[in-house]
A and B are shown apart, each in its own frame.
Chain A
Amino acid sequence: MAQAEWHQKSGDDPAAARAHRWTLKALSTAGTIALTFFGLLLVTFLIARVVPIDPVLAVVGDRATEEVYEQARQDMGLDRPVPVQFAIYVRDVLQGDLGTSTLTARPVAEDIARVFPATLELATIGTLIGVLLGVPLGVWAAARQGSAVDQLIRFVGLVGYSVPIFWLGLVGLLLFYVQLDWVSGPGRVDIFYDGVVPPVTGALLLDSLIAGNTEVFWNAVSHIILPATLLGYFSLAYISRMTRSFMLTELSRDYITTARVKGLSERQVIWGHAFANIRVPLITVIALSYAGLLEGSVLTETVFVWPGLGSYITNALFAADMNAVLGGTLVVGMVFVGLNLLSDVLYQYLDPRARQ
């Protein structure tokens, strides 16, 4: 039914019109998501096929006889035409089956359920640190533009942008773990606490609280604090710079001058007026930063022996474990799509114009 015609018929019923608008929007969003995922899978699948690595070797190893090799190749479906392989993969994914990882011999979904909470835990704390410190610092720097405070905050941001994360990680370990002994070393928990807490959510901090095991909880906190602070610092560098930039634009507008002329306090001008208007673009910045951390930071995960999504996908890629690569890519795609949707919802909450 054409939209105009439908409006005519339901013109007297604003609730129905609103429902219709929402339905259309939901359908459009669902279509975009489906297309995004299809494109993501297709591109990853095709890249996997042109990479000069033989995936059968990951299964049978270097020493396999030709019979064993050929059998494995057939078992993996690699003797079929590429479009057929792709069609079969998409069909399985639609049924919730991401296949079996050749590297770990387990279902990819099970692997991701194991590694993703580790990344989620780290990225969430990192983002919290980044937001809680980065936003006020950005606002502060903008409010004191050109002052020593502004210069210092900009310098801190610049360092966060330009120093390699693995270097900072190693230096952080040497200082806070080896020299000062303030925090625990690499890993999510001291190795001999491994397996002490039964996994419920996969996030060790939560699981240890659920199990009521404070010893493991504090040990996990002492392990996560350094990598999370490091990721938080990088997040802070990005968020504070963007916040400062948004605030400077906002503070130069006429309504801010008016507010000041009206005699409002500087706090009201900055937080009540200027900051209120940068919340929407700031949400996009924070969501992007969070999504970036949720992809898994391979270098941080390597230095801190953090068994997360980034290392999982990287290992899989080097081993030509295509089911794992595709599964991981899907999850990363879902993270981006999910955070975008969340941003949309928050926009509508914060900006009345978006609700129109």
Chain B
Amino acid sequence: MSLPSRCWIAVIGILLTVFVVSLPASAKTPKDTLVMASQFDDIVSLDPAEVFEFSGAEYTAQVYDRLVAFDLDDISIILPSVAESWTVSEDGKTFTFKIRQDITFHSGNPLTARDVAFSLQRVVKLGKTPAFILTQFGLTPENVEELVQAVDDEMLTFTTDQAYAPSFILYCLTANVASVVDSQLVQSKAVNGDYGHGWLRTNSAGSGPFKLNAWRPNDALIYDRYDGYWKGEPGFTRVFVRHIAETSTQKLLLEKGDIDVARDLTADQLAALADHKKIDLVSRPRGEIMYLSLNVEREPFSSVEGRQALKYLVDYEGIASTLLNGQVRVHQAFLPVGFLGASQETPFALNVDKAKELLAAAGLEEGYKTTLDVRNLPELLKIAEAIQASFAQVGIEVEILPGTGRQVLTRYRAQKHDMHLGQWGPDYQDPHTNAQTFAANPDPSEASTLRTLAWRNKWDAAELTPQTTAAVLERDPATRAGMYMEIQRAHQQSSPFIIMFQRVAVIAHRKNVSGLIWGPSFDTYFYWQGTKSK
């Protein structure tokens, strides 16, 4: 190649370098804007009558108000929200709520008892996944208009089929399924009697601190401030939530100040940020518990001794302190800390000799081969490998079967697993949500319509099922708490569930961001009181 060509190459090279260097450096996030990285690929709908995923629940908390709320510092206290007060009839079946008259929706329409009635009725009529939270009170599409009624703009009556524990009903009405939608707006969007569901899946009709600006699945969720919010003016004009699957990318962006909050950093990444001058880490216990379950139809898991032996073969402290440093705490009961009647007793620890005794009592001293279904997430695989290693000490050979979330779930629901490593988050804030799924199995048959986790593991829960039913009807909170405590103790000893940990959420944010609220569940994460200094 001749000299002039080389000169050209040099010139082009210099120009390219100058071009790249002269590109505008990445601007930092504006003061009135919150920018957050989060993995929200679980959202399938924005309609509160259908939302049942973690990220969807967080979305509804920003856009909608709910009938009642609970105190985030002491969740045993139920607080007014859209309902400013309520009374319960003598027979314990009818609640009468007085609705605040100073709330307006984003559309400008006033919020009335009729909107609340419409919202609850459409949940039952649409019959989507979370509808059971209301239908468990005897509401059906046929009777819901009669049982949930707006007396006038101010008063709402809510009638149940039995006299349940009042706390049970109120906790259920703190769930996002009780979000109040703008009935006029939603009805105007109804098509073929769908109660506006088709429209509301991708749009919003709320009265919360933020309005939905845009939702692009697996990409971005953008909120705009609602200036007329009844609790006060939100601190941010706009909130951007960006789906960033790669956690190392979230960390890079946070360190550079291109995002304000990173939600999904791993234990190693959080440890690396612990002493960062411009980043704070916030730890909050979450409602999810991590457990290992055993299919009792398989021979080694059919006896109580055989199951108990495995409960002494998990290195709970070792996994929590080294493998999942800071992201879980040891917890061995099905009710997470923070729930009414939650037990914090931890009767099991790694004890190989005790396990051998129990295996001998079960006639399993020779060991056996089994499989463990686990979702292919790094942290779950780490736990699975630790279990595999400790079980091997008594001759139990565990083959780990990793799969995608849906693959593992498909096998679990079809009762095809031997052992399943899973996570479970409560559906609402009342203890019945976890008690019912872990400790009750009213119909163990194939034809069952209530397929609880006990059902999936083919455990009949014969003794605990009636106790669970009795606890949900107990009206005295203290007695009720005691009943759950007893159920958890019995469950720890006999059930095929090895409950290991309660998750801890660790949120990393820039130090100039404050006021964001991270409650005990995703639907109690609130951005509106957050602010940002320079």
With beta carbons under 8 angstroms apart, the residue of A54, A68, A114, A315 that contacts B129 is A68
A305 touches B23 (CB 8 A): no
CB of A186 closer than 8 Å to a CB of B:
yes
CB of A280 closer than 8 Å to a CB of B:
no
Assembled-state Cα–Cα distance A304/B26 (Å): 15
B404 touches A67 (CB 8 A): no
CB distance from B467 to the nearest CB of A (A): 22
CB of B229 closer than 8 Å to a CB of A:
no
With beta carbons under 8 angstroms apart, the residue of B1, B219, B449 that contacts A66 is B449
B253 touches A185 (CB 8 A): yes
CB of B201 closer than 8 Å to a CB of A:
yes
In this complex, how many residues of chain B approach chain A with their Cβ under 8 Å: the count is 63
CB distance from B162 to the nearest CB of A (A): 19
Note all chain B residues with C-beta closer than 8 A to A67: 127, 449
CB distance from A102 to the nearest CB of B (A): 7
Q: A63-B52, A303-B246, A305-B242 are in contact. Are A178 and B255 (CB under 8 A)?
A: yes
Among A53, A111, A315, A320, find the residue whose CB has the most chain B CB atoms closer than 10 A: A53
Q: A57-B406, A178-B255, A219-B24 are in contact. Are A315 and B52 (CB under 8 A)?
A: no
Assembled-state Cα–Cα distance A76/B135 (Å): 24
A318 touches B406 (CB 8 A): yes
Note all chain B residues with C-beta closer than 8 A to A221: 23
Note all chain A residues with C-beta closer than 8 A to B44: 58-59, 61, 102-105
With beta carbons under 8 angstroms apart, the residue of A71, A101, A195 that contacts B222 is A195
Question: For window 150-206 of chain B, which residues contact chain A by CB distance below 8 Å?
Answer: 201-202
A173 touches B409 (CB 8 A): no
What's the count of A-B pairs with C-beta under 8 Å?
167
CB of A177 closer than 8 Å to a CB of B:
yes
A302 touches B246 (CB 8 A): yes
B242 touches A104 (CB 8 A): no
Note all chain A residues with C-beta closer than 8 A to B451: 65-66
Note all chain B residues with C-beta closer than 8 A to A65: 129, 132, 449-451
B242 touches A54 (CB 8 A): no
CB of A231 closer than 8 Å to a CB of B:
no
Assembled-state Cα–Cα distance A144/B216 (Å): 51
B252 touches A186 (CB 8 A): yes
A182 touches B20 (CB 8 A): yes
Assembled-state Cα–Cα distance A183/B219 (Å): 21
A53 touches B410 (CB 8 A): yes
Note all chain B residues with C-beta closer than 8 A to A315: 41, 218
B240 touches A194 (CB 8 A): yes
B406 touches A58 (CB 8 A): yes
Assembled-state Cα–Cα distance A65/B23 (Å): 54
Q: A106-B217, A307-B218 are in contact. Are A192 and B25 (CB under 8 A)?
A: no
Assembled-state Cα–Cα distance A174/B420 (Å): 39
In this complex, the interface size class of chain A, counting residues with CB under 8 Å from chain B, is 35 or more
Q: A54-B406, A191-B35, A195-B214 are in contact. Are A60 and B244 (CB under 8 A)?
A: no
Contact with A along B367-411 (1 / 0, CB 8 A): 000000000000000000000000000000000000111110111
Contact with B along A107-125 (1 / 0, CB 8 A): 0000100100000000000
A60 touches B129 (CB 8 A): yes
Note all chain A residues with C-beta closer than 8 A to B258: 184-185, 190-191
Note all chain B residues with C-beta closer than 8 A to A305: 242-246, 249
With beta carbons under 8 angstroms apart, the residue of A71, A111, A181 that contacts B25 is A181
Assembled-state Cα–Cα distance A312/B403 (Å): 19
A54 touches B410 (CB 8 A): yes
Assembled-state Cα–Cα distance A190/B28 (Å): 9
Note all chain A residues with C-beta closer than 8 A to B216: 114, 307
Contact with A along B30-42 (1 / 0, CB 8 A): 1001010000010
Question: Which 3 A-B pairs have CB atoms at the shortest separation, nearest pair first?
Answer: A104-B217, A222-B23, A184-B26
18 of the cross-chain contacts (CB-CB < 8 Å) are: A52-B407, A53-B407, A57-B413, A58-B406, A61-B52, A62-B409, A63-B52, A63-B129, A65-B132, A103-B44, A178-B256, A184-B23, A185-B26, A186-B252, A194-B220, A218-B24, A305-B242, A307-B219
If A185-B256, A191-B29 are given as contacts, then 11 extra A-B residue pairs at C-beta distance below 8 Å, sorted by A number, are A66-B448, A105-B45, A106-B202, A184-B26, A185-B26, A191-B220, A191-B240, A192-B29, A195-B220, A221-B23, A303-B249
